Amino acid sequence: MSKSLQLPQEWLKPLFPRDPHEKHRVATSLELLFDLIFVVAIVTAGQQLHHAIIENHLAQGLTLYGMVFFAL
């Protein structure tokens, strides 16, 4: 392989987990974004269940809610 086709490896760094016993450990922006997306997904599934209950489609609503909640 020629030198011009090689990818630069300097920017590739292995990912290591954070130490859970680290002092003053705060959540990263990525962790907070993941938590926010997870909460919004559960709230949306709950709203769909609420609408299904109001429209008297309890069995279908519980089935869909269970599938979505299990997937999350």
Q: Is the dihedral of CA 37, 64, 70, 15 positive or negative?
A: negative
**What's the rounded Cα separation, in Å, for the pair 51 and 43?**
12
Would the pTM count as exceeding 0.85? Answer: no
- pLDDT per residue over 19-29, tens digit each? 878 887 788 88
Distance from the first to the final alpha carbon of the chain = 44
- pLDDT per residue over 24-48, tens digit each? 778 888 889 999 999 999 999 999 9
- pLDDT per residue over 48-58, tens digit each? 999 999 999 99
Q: Which two tokens stand for residue 28?
A: 């990263």
What pLDDT sits at residue 4?
54
Q: For residue 61, name the pLDDT band (cuts at 50, 70, 90).
A: very high
